[in-house]
Amino acid sequence: MRLESRLAQLPRGAEREQIVARIEQLRTAVELNAMLSTAG
């Protein structure tokens, strides 16, 4: 199950906040990977 889908089903709370943090980590990793892949 994708994290975004799971997030939509969860009420506010610790588990939801952990998933939000994980999504942010993954997005940052994708951005860094893209930058390093294109760097000179």
User: What region, left, alpha or beta, does residue 33 occupy, with left being phi > 0 and alpha being psi -120 to 50 degrees?
Assistant: alpha
* Distance between start and end Cα atoms, the chain: 36
pLDDT for the residue 12: 94
What pLDDT, on the 0 to 100 scale, is given for residue 27?
A: 94
How much is the pLDDT for 1? 59
Higher pLDDT, 39 or 9: 9
pTM score, whole prediction:
0.78
Q: Per residue in 12-32, pLDDT tens?
A: 999 999 999 999 999 999 999
- Model confidence at 39: pLDDT above 90: no
